[in-house]
Each structure stands twice: as C-alpha cells, then as structure tokens.
C-alpha cells in the first residue's frame, strides 16, 4: 500500500490534535485530515485536509458535548465526508470519546468508509475518571457503535495514556500523551505502507483488532542506550495498560512493532519477544514487525496492539467502559518519539533457524535439554 492510499483522520478536537502531531514526522507525504464542528480548532490544525461540518447547525463553535448535534452536522455534510474518502484504500480514524463531535462523527466517518468498502481502524481515547458523568456516558454509548462500524477499534483510556507519560504538569503531559498515541498510529501506518513486511496487510492488522477477539488496547515503551531490548520489554510490561504483563495472558492476538536503528540486534529482538511471549497465553497469536531507521541509533520504540476478550481494566468488554482507579505505577518516561522528524525503512527480518552458527563444531551447552548456543528466539519458536 502506498502512503497516499492511507487516510489518517482526526475527528473532533482531541482526534485532530493527535493527528496534527503526525504532520512532518515522516519524509513521505502523510495524508492527514481533520473533521470538526469547531472552526477555531480547524484553523489551528496543520492537517493536509480540513473539513468543517455542520456550519449551519454548530456555527463553527463545536457541539459543546452534544452528540446529537454532531450526528446532524455529519448528516448535513455527508457528501463532503464521502468526498474526503475518494481514492483511499484504508482509513485510520482517531478520536477522543466523550466530546459531542468525536463520539458521534467518528462513527459516521467509519460508516461512510464501510459503505465505500474501505477497511478502517479506529484509535479512540476514553475520558478521564475526573471528567463529567455525561462525557463518560457519551463515550460508553459510542464504543459499541464504533465497534459495529469499524474493522478494528483500539481503545486507550486517557487515565492510562497520561499515566504512561510519567509527567504531572498538564502542560507537559498533554503533548507527551498525544505524541505517544500518535507514534502508535504511525507504527500502524508504517506496517501498512511497506508491502510484504511480515504480511502485515490491512486485513492482517484488522484481524488483530477484530471484534471477535475482544477489545483491542495499546501499550508502548521507548528506550535509548544500551540493553534496549531488555529495557523496552520491561518498560512495556510495566505500561499501565498491561498490568505488569498479566493482561497479556488472556489476549487472543498481539501485534508487536519495533522501530529502531540499524544497530538493532537479534539479541534485542529475543530480549523483547521472550518476556512478551512468556506473558502471553499458549493460544495467543503473536506477530512482530520491525522498522529500521538509521537516525534511530541507540533508540527503540516498542508498540503492542493486543485484543482481549474480557476487556481491559478500565475498558470492560461490555459495560462499563469507564476507567476504574488502579494502583498501577507509571512506566519510565516516554521521550519525544521522533526528535529527528525522520523515519526509517522497514525491513523483513529473515530469522529462520540457521543452525548452530559459529557453535556448529563445538559441543552443545545443554541446560534442561535445551542447547543454549541456539538463540533464544529460535529455541522458543518465536516468529519474527
């Protein structure tokens, strides 16, 4: 799939801000769009396309939390929404649930894509615990509608998203949270735009997050320096979404994506995959993809999309979808995911078992029946 085939749409204020954060992150022209009822929010956005909907109904002032108004606004401008989807092979929708626009218009965009036979994924945040009951209810109502309309819904409660930044001050936490979520969207974009890359086609991605497999959640870790594999895996498992890794045990499917420099080693990948596989259940379908960027020397971003039938803490499979307080500790700080503004070329990791390599002519180092001279990922049958 070419980069131009994928449309990344931010709906409403939060969705628009997250997508806006992607602009300029990769050298290829990203097809970004923002759809909103709020003229000021649109004016501030650097997205390639901007669509103000419902100008006769919302008068460019947003819906003020009125999802009915959002839906009518989408109805009024349904033709424009359909037009935006022209010549698109995949749509990634990003929205903050709880607002009047994001909670209603995201569904309409997804439905329009569905009618045009365009596969979709939707990344959505859930309101903070401290937000109003009305917002929580709006989000709760939107989740089943979105699930019905999309090939894969990936939910992140804002409480967990912000906990993962390790930042207290709102002025620092918001940009960090947006950047983290944006990078996860970008990781998906990379998988899609590199044909043949571990067979991660649009439908493979949708498989990971398809409704039958439960509710898909997202976790990530970013590290620099030595022992990147080990630290990334440790940080990932400490992510508020994963409950120390326990949440992976009953996941049906897990998609692991690694963005790193050319200095990424097989040992790093083994160090990442071994604890992740160990945390997953026996029947969990685990897939990995990598993206190598020469600018990312000593730097690694690890992203996991995982689908869990019972839902997540804070995101139950049925009701309620609103976050309960947890005692999760935040993982270490998430740094600016792409300070260089450049991105890399994805490679196929050709990691089929290649025998005992330089240990071919030596006696095996056996422990519990395992030959320790064979890399861990081969011994454990981890597919890369």
Ligand X SMILES: Nc1nc2c(ncn2[C@@H]2O[C@H](COP(=O)(O)OP(=O)(O)OP(=O)(O)O)[C@@H](O)[C@H]2O)c(=O)[nH]1
Name the site residues for Mg ion (rule: CB under 5 A): 13, 38, 62
**DSSP per residue, 114-155:** HHTT--EEEEEEE--TTS-HHHHHHHHHHHHHHHHHSSEEEE
Give the per-residue contact string, 28-67, with ligand X (x = CB under 6 A; - = no): ---------xx-----------------------xxxx--
Residue 45 or 253: the one with the smaller Cβ distance to ligand X is 45
- The least CB distance from residue 280 to ligand X, in Å, is 28
Q: What are phi and psi of 91, to 5 degrees?
A: -120, 130
Q: Is 190 in the site for ligand X (CB under 6 A)?
A: no
- The least CB distance from residue 132 to ligand X, in Å, is 8
Q: Is 158 in the site for ligand X (CB under 6 A)?
A: yes
Alpha carbons 110 and 97: distance in angstroms, whole number: 14
Give whole-number Cα distances, 327 to 127, 172, 324, 330, 332, in Å: 18, 22, 10, 9, 16
- Could you tell which of ligand X, Mg ion, none binds residue 343, using a CB distance below 5 to 8 A set by kind? none
Quote the tokens at residue 75. Answer: 């109805």
Question: Which residues in the chain belong to E strands, given as ranges?
Answer: 6-11, 31-36, 49-52, 90-96, 120-126, 152-157, 215-224, 253-260, 285-292, 299-308, 311-312, 315-316, 345-346, 366-367, 370-371
- The least CB distance from residue 84 to ligand X, in Å, is 17
Among 75, 128, 261, 263, binds ligand X (CB under 6 A): 128
- The least CB distance from residue 113 to ligand X, in Å, is 18
Quote the tokens at residue 263. Answer: 């200095």
Measured at CB, which residue is nearest to ligand X?
99
Q: Is 122 in the site for ligand X (CB under 6 A)?
A: no
Q: Is 308 in the site for ligand X (CB under 6 A)?
A: no
- Could you tell which of Mg ion, ligand X, none binds residue 96, using a CB distance below 5 to 8 A set by kind? ligand X
Q: Which region, judged by CB under 6 A, interacts with ligand X, from 95-103, 221-229, 285-293, 320-328?
A: 95-103
3-state helix, strand, coil in the chain (%, to 5): 40, 20, 40
Q: Is 134 in the site for ligand X (CB under 6 A)?
A: no
Q: Which region, judged by CB under 6 A, interacts with ligand X, from 9-17, 163-171, 261-269, 360-368?
A: 9-17
Q: Which are the contacts of 63, defined by CB distance < 8 A and separation ≥ 6?
A: 37, 54, 69, 70, 73, 99, 100, 101, 104
Residue 38 or 66: the one with the smaller Cβ distance to Mg ion is 38
- The least CB distance from residue 49 to Mg ion, in Å, is 18
- The least CB distance from residue 171 to ligand X, in Å, is 12
Alpha carbons 179 and 6: distance in angstroms, whole number: 20
For the chain, counts of helices (H) and of strands (E): 13, 15
Residue 209 and residue 152 in contact, taking contact as beta carbons nearer than 8 Å? yes
Residues that bind ligand X (CB under 6 A): 12-14, 17, 37-38, 62-65, 96, 98-102, 125, 127-128, 131, 135, 158, 161, 174, 177-178
């Amino acid at each position: 799939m070419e980069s131009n085939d994928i449309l990344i749409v931010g709906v409403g204020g939060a969705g628009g801000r997250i997508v806006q954060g992607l602009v300029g992150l990769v050298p290829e022209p990203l097809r970004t769009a923002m759809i909103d009822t709020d003229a000021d929010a649109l004016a501030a956005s650097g997205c390639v396309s901007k669509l103000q909907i419902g100008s006769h109904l919302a008068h460019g002032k947003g819906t003020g939390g009125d999802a009915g108004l959002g839906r009518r606004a989408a109805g009024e401008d349904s033709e424009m929404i359909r037009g935006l989807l022209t010549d698109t092979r995949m749509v990634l929708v990003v929205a903050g649930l709880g607002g009047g626009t994001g909670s209603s218009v995201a569904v309409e965009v997804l439905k329009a894509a569905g009618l045009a036979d365009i596969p979709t994924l939707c990344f959505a945040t859930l309101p903070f615990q401290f937000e109003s009951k009305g917002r929580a209810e709006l989000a709760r109502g939107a989740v089943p509608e979105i699930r019905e309309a999309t090939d894969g819904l990936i939910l992140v409660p804002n409480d967990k998203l912000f906990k993962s930044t390790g930042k207290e001050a709102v002025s620092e936490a918001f940009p960090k949270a947006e950047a983290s979520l944006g990078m996860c969207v970008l990781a998906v974009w990379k998988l899609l735009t590199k044909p043949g890359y571990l067979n991660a086609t649009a439908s493979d991605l949708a498989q990971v997050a398809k409704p039958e497999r439960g509710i898909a959640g997202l976790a990530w870790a970013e590290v620099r320096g030595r022992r990147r594999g080990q630290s990334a895996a440790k940080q990932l498992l400490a992510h508020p979404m994963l409950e120390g890794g326990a949440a992976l045990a009953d996941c049906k499917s897990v998609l692991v994506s690694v963005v790193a420099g050319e200095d990424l080693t097989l040992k790093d990948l083994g160090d990442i995959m071994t604890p992740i596989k160990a945390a997953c259940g026996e029947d969990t379908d685990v897939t990995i993809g990598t993206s190598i960027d020469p600018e990312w020397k000593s730097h690694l971003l690890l992203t996991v999309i995982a689908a869990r039938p019972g839902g997540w803490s804070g995101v139950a499979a049925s009701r309620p979808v609103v976050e309960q307080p947890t005692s999760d500790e935040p993982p270490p700080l998430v740094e600016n995911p792409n300070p260089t503004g450049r991105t890399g070329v994805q490679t196929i990791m050709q990691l089929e078992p290649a025998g005992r390599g330089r240990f071919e002519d030596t006696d095996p180092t056996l422990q519990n029946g395992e030959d320790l001279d064979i890399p861990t990922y081969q011994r454990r049958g981890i597919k890369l």
